[in-house]
Structure formats: structure tokens, C-alpha cells
Amino acid sequence: MAVTINTLREYKQKGEAFSVLTSYDATFAQIVSEAGVDVILIGDSLGMVLQGHDSTLPVTMDQMVYHTSSVATGNRGALIMADMPFMTYGTAEAAMENAAELMRAGAHMVKLEGTDWMKDTIHALSERGVPVCAHLGLTPQFVNKLGGYKVQGRSEKQAELMIEHACELEAAGADVILLECVPSALAARITQAVDAPVIGIGAGADTDGQVLVVHDMLGITTGRKPRFVKNFLAEADSVQGAIEAYVTAVRNRTFPSEEHTFKA
Ligand code: KIV
């Protein structure tokens, strides 16, 4: 049965963890969805892992539409979430036009990076039938404002602000919250504070779902390996086996373990 936003809500209610992986093409989308991954993310991380840029900022709408439609062709029942690229949702009007393109290409949900300034935009999208994931914490499109790829929400003041933002974005209509590189205790507090399913990356084991970049979890990482990454291919004999092991580890909450998480 196809995964929908209701499936993710049911997982949260039952306390069952769900898995998310990036894919950018039809072949990976088929392998990933057949392995039982619940959500496929067409991340703008493709600007780094496919195109070789040092940030996600150069990724365009046309590129996201192309990759989203490739993923939709290969997908076998996962929920498809597509990233809105840098500065394509600066106003509600721009967001509606660009989100429509991604939905036409096969996305079931769009993901936006930001805080309380996105409330009106999320409300406008949600009211018009576009499910939204709000990405908080380390938001890579803000790398130049953040001064690097750094863990966010380490002080109590920052933590409280992030909890407030998560609640406000949920109230505005966000269906899913994604937390990147935040201390695990803060991620647990946000997961408790909102009814929406919370997906984590570098956010500890207590979120409702986990996401990784597929290249990273297959060990195809150039440069420094982030702390939150585990190479599942190291102990598997095929790509399919590695992805199935990831699904199982997320479901059993054996991934992420202490070594993949951050403290305040
Ligand atoms: O672009 C991406 O792949 C992402 C994940 C790292 C969450 O946003």
C-alpha cells in the first residue's frame, strides 16, 4: 500500500519509527522504495552529491523538477518529498507557483527550510492542497548566515526558540517537521511538543523518523564523513541489502546510536 501523510501520522501515534532516504533518479527510487523506505526525499543535497558544489544554493527549480519526475517514475509506493530550492519560496506567491511545479512532477509533499517567517507561506500552500515539511535546525540553504555547517540549538535560549518555531509552523499547516543537526535532547522535546511526525538527521534516536542521504549511507562520501552518518554497505553484500539493513535499524531504533548524535 502506498505511504501517505496519514501513514506517517499513524506511525507517530503507534510509536513506530519510519525511514526516509534521498534519491535523485528512477533506479534508486525503485530500489529504495522496494526495500521498504517510507519516504523518498529529492533533496537539494543533489547540488553537493551529484553536481559537486560546496553548498545547495546553486540548485534550480528546473533541476528539482527533472529529478522529481525521474524519482516518481521509479517509485514503488513511497511518499515523495521534494525540496524547494534556495529563494524559490521567499514569498507565498513564489512558493505556490514553484510548489505546483514540483507537485505536477510527482511530489506528494514539499520541504522548506526556515523558521517563523514561513508561517504565511506554509498556510497558503497547505490551504491549497500542498503538504509541507518544515526543515529546522541546521538549514543548509542558510549556510552563509549560519557561518558554516554547525549543530544548532545548543543553548537553552536557542532550544526554546526552536520549540516555539516548530509549534508555530505546525499551527500554520506544516504536516511534518524535519530537524537537522540538533542535540538529541532538544529533538526529543520537539517530537513531544508537536503532533506532526518529526524526522531527524543528526538529531538522535527519539524522533519519529530518520533520514540520510543515500550516498552517505552507502559510503560514497567524499571528504569528511559527518558524525551522524553510518555506512550500511560496510556490513552488507549489496546496495539492496544495505538499504534493507537501514530500514530495519531505523524501525528497531538501533540507528542512530550514541556515536551518531550530538549533545547540548
Ligand atoms: O537536501 C537534503 O538531502 C536534505 C536532507 C539532508 C535532510 O535536506
For the stretch 175-218, pLDDT in tens is 999 999 999 999 999 999 999 999 999 999 999 999 999 999 99
Is the confidence at residue 153, as pLDDT, over 90? yes
Is the confidence at residue 133, as pLDDT, over 90? yes
Is the confidence at residue 76, as pLDDT, over 90? yes
46 lines ligand 1 (CB under 6 A): no
Of 49, 142, 201, the residue with max ligand 1 atoms within 8 A of its CB, to mutate for a pocket test, comes to: 201
Catalytic residue among 101, 170, 180, 244: 180
Could you give phi then psi for residue 39, rounded to 5 degrees? -130, 130
Give the closest residue (by CA) to ligand 1 atom 5: 43
Q: What are the distances in angstroms from CA 134 to CA 59, 81, 89, 151, 199?
A: 19, 11, 12, 17, 10
Instruction: Say whether 259 is catalytic.
Output: no
The dihedral of CA 29, 30, 33, 35: what is its sign? negative
- C-alpha angle 103-214-129 in degrees, rounded to nearest 5: 20
Closest to 153 measured CA to CA, from 202, 108, 90: 202
59 lines ligand 1 (CB under 6 A): no
- Please tell me whether the peptide bond between 131 and the residue prior to it is cis, using omega within 30 degrees of 0: no
* Residue 44 Cα: closest atom of ligand 1: 1
First to last CA, the chain: 39
* Residue bearing cell 546510536: 257
Closest to 151 measured CA to CA, from 135, 138, 169, 166: 138
Is the confidence at residue 220, as pLDDT, over 90? yes
40 lines ligand 1 (CB under 6 A): no
Binned at pLDDT 50, 70 and 90, residue 88 comes out as: very high
| Tens of pLDDT, residues 102-112 | 999 999 999 99
